[in-house]
Chains A and B, each alone.
Chain A
Amino acid sequence: MSILEFPRIYFRGDIAWDPVTTNNYPTVDRPPLAPAAYDENACDATLSQVAVSAQSVAGFRQAAINEVGNFGNWNPAGSYRCPFYDTAISGVDVGNGLDTNDTFAKAPVNFTGMLVDCEPYGAYTSQLFFDDMSFGIEGGCRIYGKRVERFNDRFINFSANPSNNMIAGVASVMWQTCFPKNAGLEVDAFDSNVLQALQGCLSDADVLGLMVRFVTYRTVYYDDDTLANGSPATAAAAAALQAKLNAGGFQPNQARSMLVGTVGLWRQGEVFTEASDRALISTMAAIPGQTDPSRGGPTVATAFARTTATGLALDFSNTMPCTNRATDKFDLGPLTVTAADPPPAVAIAQIATIASSQYNRKAFEATSGIIDIPLPAATLAQLAGMDLAITTADGTAFLTEDVVRAVPLQANVYINQGETAELSVQVYLRGVPAGAGVTVTMSDLNASQPTSVKQVTNSGGVATFPVLGTTGEIIGWVFQTGDNPVLPVGGVFTPLNNTYTYLRVLPADANIAALPPTWDNVHNYVLASWEAMAPCMDNWLRLGDQQQVLAYANLIRTLTDPVNFESFRFMPVTRDMSVGQRTLLYNFLGFGAPAAALNAAVATKPDGIDQQALSRSMRAPVIN
């Protein structure tokens, strides 16, 4: 039952964000064009729309610095590292209410990830690659998890805090991963009641491990929480950063966010990478007296729900927008939880009332946004077959249940050109895996016309779409259930309510693979792009230094090996090295071609849907 089940462990603190941001700027299509930019289809850093070579690395770096002021490029020299700091266990709940006196309380939470966007131009595919995560310290009460799969962000709400109008400071976003109990997960309980309870639950065969879900919000840039877009103070901060960058050295400019999170159980049937509980999606209703969400006003965002043994648990961690930069929550008054029989029935029952004191800032920080509503067992049983909603006193519904929902089993997928990806979704009926026969529709989230493909779920409620990567490109695929869903055509896609998977196809670059393995070729066609885009690479290895590159050949081989793709130290950190580039690099280093990768690159599976052709057809202009 996910983190909404008991026992739960709450944590709270801060996270720093230090990604390189120059690759957010497209080479083409979005004027005005930044000189230092990135071609995400070809996986090339570009300077004035030309792929960077050894000769243009310095020019690219200077152009990126100039963009700090001209284009809002707030971090051209980031390290990608994103550590939690000042983060600790804030409380626990074994089912008897919030407990801040458990011996696990106040234990530090340690995590550092590498922030990498699968689709660098957009904001829907952020990932945190990491090796491990610990709650508490070795020798004490502790949970230690080894990474199996990266954290992925979902449900980004760009109207979570309109008052914090500085770059993405308006947004909040949810992250999730799981730690399987048979893959290095350790729980050292000692005298902690919640950890002892957790240990007991882990022996249940239905429990696969632990789930960690957290939400980041109120992002601050330039270490100044008063800045606003376009303000003189922001311009001054940018100018100061430019001066540092022009002084040389290593000059990261990390942003930082607050975070709240929860650790709980991960059970059979629950998706690894995003919330798959009952989804109460946003109606995009306007908060009285505020700008409409369609025009950037504060948005009450998607929440999740589960029934527990004693009541209804709501995950409001990413739901209630903030009214100010201090992160106080909007007060919508008492909220009503309603349950309705499925259409065509019209009877609606009021199940419970949520006081504003249960969703205000204090409550949010205490229980990481989770709200527990005690309910009689009979009511809980009824809810299993009813559709939930959250309304205000005037009857306005802010959240309504997405009853039949297709949740991707993978958030972001990388393949090489020529490979076939199997994009799978688990279909849920009110948070429970559905069975066979549910139609799922897949469409391009940037589609301009209502074209789609359909698949039907198997007995486990899973539908799979084989997609062939025929060329280097990145497509976001939206999944909807039902025979005739309203497709998100014409820019109406919303990450709050639509579920999606991004598929990134790395180009084969066979022409690069075939080049003579000389230093000039390796530098120009493989290394120069990252040397230009990620000056932080200099801290580890000067990519323009032939002797250094050769001296660390074995280490380079290890760090760029695709088997280490999930690793914190995988190189390139941007995960955009093509098979052709890797082949040329390995040939230069004396390792020969990576056979498995090369074979995969040329293999094709004729039963896959051609991603490029499909996407092109969905984006083709409609001819009247």
Chain B
Amino acid sequence: MIKLAWQTPQTLADVQAAVQTAIDLEFSTLPPYLYAKMTILPGSNAPAFARLNAIVGQEMIHMCLACNIMNAIGGTVQINPPSYPGPLPGDVDAGLIIHLLPFSQAAMAQGMAIEEPSEAIDPPELQAALVAPDVTIGEFYDLLDKALQALPATAWLPNNNQISDQQFFPGQIFAVNNKDDAHKAITQIVSEGEGTPVTPTDNGSPLDFQNELAHFYRFWEMDRNQVLVKDPNPVGFAWGGPLGLDFSQVYPAIADPESHDFSQDPPAAQQAQAACNAAYTALVNGLVSAFRGGTGGLGLAVRAMFDLRMAAMTALTTPLADGHSVAGAAFVYSPNAAPQGDAA
């Protein structure tokens, strides 16, 4: 589980730092989720692919919304590519080390740990109760929301490098121009990640604000290989039929390719990794451009994302030195290739 550091902000700069943590946090969830999704063998595990695809899309949206908040309060967005394995940004005691894991129950359990609410609902068939962390991502966002609400009106800069849904994710990304918009953004982020936690006054719900299943519960379904179904019990849900996943239908991908020494692998594998890293670097640079007002920056980032997908597909079919295993994209940023902001 993740425990995030929280110190009550005293200044605008403190709030901006907290928002930057949120940006880093959202960004850092993407590589592990993408790695799991990309390593599913084509044509297999459709329910998992669909769930991961939806989760990845929403995490991208969450990051955009967090960046919008940062720009709205006059900060400068930084895109800080994390390393894997490693802790999530803001994790105070490094209790959870995040790995790039191929599609597996371990990868799903890791997703659950990242998205874990303060108190999940407990469907009847569930045997092991979850232990609530002291501070979850959701609680972090609640505190961040309060800090943002406390900012003076003069701290908000309308229309400052905002990304809307004009080009991508219709209806899901919106400009943040004031504290009300920021509250809406944070509510969306928390709701889609955790649903509604159980509290003394609320029975909780696995559904988000649009009545879709929240990330934690989607991971839980995949972890248990069971569908969470509506049920007339006090919790409202129960574990139903099988989801139909086959965890053997996965590329033989190594975990944490960043830790792997590719110098001993065939040139084709090295080239495939280089292509992945180049595309990832372009993606990060495009995001920086986008959130610093660069013309067409988001389109450049999305183009790079598609390049990354193609490069990863190649890497996942290119054997390493052992002739059997492969590596997905390592998500290694190469800052010397193109400094941040150059695309702006």
| Cross-chain contact A244 with B171 (CB below 8 angstroms) | no
Within the complex, which residue of A140, A254, A548, A551 is in contact with B167, where a contact is CB–CB below 8 Å? A254
CA gap between A249 and B229 in the complex, in Å: 42
Which residues of B from 199 to 242 have beta carbons under 8 Å from A? 210-213, 227-230, 232, 237, 240
In the complex, the chain A residue whose C-beta lies closest to that of B54 is A110
Q: Is there a chain B Cβ closer than 8 Å to A422's Cβ?
A: no
Given contacts A251-B296, A254-B170, A538-B306, contact A139 B211 (CB under 8 A): no
In the complex, the chain B residue whose C-beta lies closest to that of A107 is B211
Can you name 29 A-B residue pairings with CB atoms under 8 Å?
A: A14-B170, A16-B171, A85-B172, A86-B210, A106-B211, A108-B210, A108-B212, A137-B211, A138-B227, A139-B227, A139-B229, A139-B230, A140-B211, A140-B229, A244-B299, A245-B296, A247-B300, A249-B299, A249-B300, A249-B301, A249-B304, A250-B300, A250-B303, A250-B306, A252-B167, A254-B166, A540-B306, A541-B310, A548-B310
CB contacts (< 8 Å) of B301 on chain A: these are 249
In the complex, the chain B residue whose C-beta lies closest to that of A256 is B170
Chain A, residues 60-98, CB within 8 Å of chain B (1/0): the string is 000000000000000000000001011010000000000
In the complex, the chain A residue whose C-beta lies closest to that of B282 is A249
Given contacts A108-B210, A139-B229, contact A252 B168 (CB under 8 A): yes
CA gap between A85 and B210 in the complex, in Å: 10
| Cross-chain contact B310 with A85 (CB below 8 angstroms) | no
| B88 shortest CB reach to chain A, Å | 28
Q: Is there a chain B Cβ closer than 8 Å to A141's Cβ?
A: yes
| Cross-chain contact B167 with A108 (CB below 8 angstroms) | no
Q: Is there a chain A Cβ closer than 8 Å to B302's Cβ?
A: yes
Q: Is there a chain A Cβ closer than 8 Å to B14's Cβ?
A: no
Q: Is there a chain A Cβ closer than 8 Å to B265's Cβ?
A: no
Q: Is there a chain B Cβ closer than 8 Å to A292's Cβ?
A: no
B interface residues, how many (CB within 8 angstroms):
34
Given contacts A108-B210, A249-B303, A254-B167, contact A139 B228 (CB under 8 A): yes
| Cross-chain contact B172 with A140 (CB below 8 angstroms) | no
Q: Is there a chain A Cβ closer than 8 Å to B16's Cβ?
A: no
Q: Is there a chain B Cβ closer than 8 Å to A539's Cβ?
A: yes
| Cross-chain contact A191 with B232 (CB below 8 angstroms) | yes
CA gap between A15 and B171 in the complex, in Å: 9
Consensus secondary structure, chain B interface: mixed
| A9 shortest CB reach to chain B, Å | 15
| A16 shortest CB reach to chain B, Å | 4
Q: Is there a chain A Cβ closer than 8 Å to B161's Cβ?
A: no
CA gap between A254 and B230 in the complex, in Å: 36
Q: Is there a chain B Cβ closer than 8 Å to A223's Cβ?
A: yes
CB contacts (< 8 Å) of B296 on chain A: these are 243-249, 251
CB contacts (< 8 Å) of B286 on chain A: these are 249
CB contacts (< 8 Å) of A244 on chain B: these are 295-296, 299
Which residues of A from 182 to 229 have beta carbons under 8 Å from B? 190-191, 222-223
Within the complex, which residue of A86, A106, A248 is in contact with B303, where a contact is CB–CB below 8 Å? A248
| Cross-chain contact B171 with A86 (CB below 8 angstroms) | yes
Q: Is there a chain B Cβ closer than 8 Å to A161's Cβ?
A: no
| B304 shortest CB reach to chain A, Å | 8
Q: Is there a chain B Cβ closer than 8 Å to A307's Cβ?
A: no
Chain A, residues 245-267, CB within 8 Å of chain B (1/0): the string is 11111111110100000000000
CB contacts (< 8 Å) of B39 on chain A: these are none
CB contacts (< 8 Å) of A222 on chain B: these are 166
| A166 shortest CB reach to chain B, Å | 15
In the complex, the chain B residue whose C-beta lies closest to that of A15 is B170
Number of A-B contacts (CB under 8 A): 92
Chain B, residues 180-209, CB within 8 Å of chain A (1/0): the string is 000000000000000000000000000000
Chain A, residues 136-154, CB within 8 Å of chain B (1/0): the string is 0111110000000000000
CB contacts (< 8 Å) of A190 on chain B: these are 230
Interface residues of A (CB under 8 A from B): 14, 16, 83, 85-86, 88, 106-108, 137-141, 190-191, 222-223, 243-254, 256, 538-541, 548, 551
| Cross-chain contact A539 with B306 (CB below 8 angstroms) | yes
| A131 shortest CB reach to chain B, Å | 11
CA gap between A140 and B230 in the complex, in Å: 5
CB contacts (< 8 Å) of B211 on chain A: these are 88, 106-108, 137, 140
Interface residues of B (CB under 8 A from A): 47, 164-168, 170-172, 210-213, 227-230, 232, 237, 240, 286, 294-297, 299-304, 306, 310, 314
| Cross-chain contact A247 with B314 (CB below 8 angstroms) | no
CB contacts (< 8 Å) of A107 on chain B: these are 211
| Cross-chain contact B213 with A139 (CB below 8 angstroms) | yes
CB contacts (< 8 Å) of B168 on chain A: these are 252
| Cross-chain contact B230 with A16 (CB below 8 angstroms) | no
In the complex, the chain A residue whose C-beta lies closest to that of B294 is A247
Closest 9 CB pairs of A and B: A247-B296, A85-B171, A249-B300, A249-B299, A16-B170, A244-B296, A223-B166, A539-B306, A249-B303
| A284 shortest CB reach to chain B, Å | 35
| B238 shortest CB reach to chain A, Å | 9
| Cross-chain contact A248 with B300 (CB below 8 angstroms) | yes
| Cross-chain contact B210 with A223 (CB below 8 angstroms) | no
Within the complex, which residue of B165, B213, B302 is in contact with A137, where a contact is CB–CB below 8 Å? B213
CA gap between A425 and B101 in the complex, in Å: 56
User: What 9 additional pairs, Cβ within 8 angstroms, besides A83-B170, A249-B300, A249-B303?
Assistant: A16-B171, A108-B211, A137-B211, A138-B47, A139-B227, A223-B164, A245-B296, A247-B295, A254-B170
CB contacts (< 8 Å) of A538 on chain B: these are 303, 306
CA gap between A108 and B210 in the complex, in Å: 7
Q: Which of A86, A137, A249, A541 has the most CB of B within 10 A?
A: A249
CB contacts (< 8 Å) of A86 on chain B: these are 171, 210
CA gap between A433 and B342 in the complex, in Å: 67
CB contacts (< 8 Å) of A251 on chain B: these are 167, 296, 299
CB contacts (< 8 Å) of B303 on chain A: these are 248-250, 538-539
| A352 shortest CB reach to chain B, Å | 37
CB contacts (< 8 Å) of A548 on chain B: these are 310
| A560 shortest CB reach to chain B, Å | 17
In the complex, the chain B residue whose C-beta lies closest to that of A190 is B230
CA gap between A249 and B212 in the complex, in Å: 32
CA gap between A138 and B228 in the complex, in Å: 8
| A528 shortest CB reach to chain B, Å | 20
CA gap between A244 and B302 in the complex, in Å: 13
| B42 shortest CB reach to chain A, Å | 8
CA gap between A107 and B213 in the complex, in Å: 11
| Cross-chain contact A247 with B299 (CB below 8 angstroms) | yes
| A577 shortest CB reach to chain B, Å | 22
CA gap between A139 and B186 in the complex, in Å: 27
| A538 shortest CB reach to chain B, Å | 7
Given contacts A139-B227, A247-B299, A247-B300, contact A88 B166 (CB under 8 A): no
CB contacts (< 8 Å) of B165 on chain A: these are 223
Within the complex, which residue of B170, B240, B302 is in contact with A139, where a contact is CB–CB below 8 Å? B240
CB contacts (< 8 Å) of B170 on chain A: these are 14, 16, 83, 85, 254, 256
| B288 shortest CB reach to chain A, Å | 14
In the complex, the chain B residue whose C-beta lies closest to that of A139 is B229
| Cross-chain contact B295 with A250 (CB below 8 angstroms) | no
| B299 shortest CB reach to chain A, Å | 4
CA gap between A243 and B297 in the complex, in Å: 11
Given contacts A244-B299, A248-B296, A249-B286, contact A551 B314 (CB under 8 A): yes
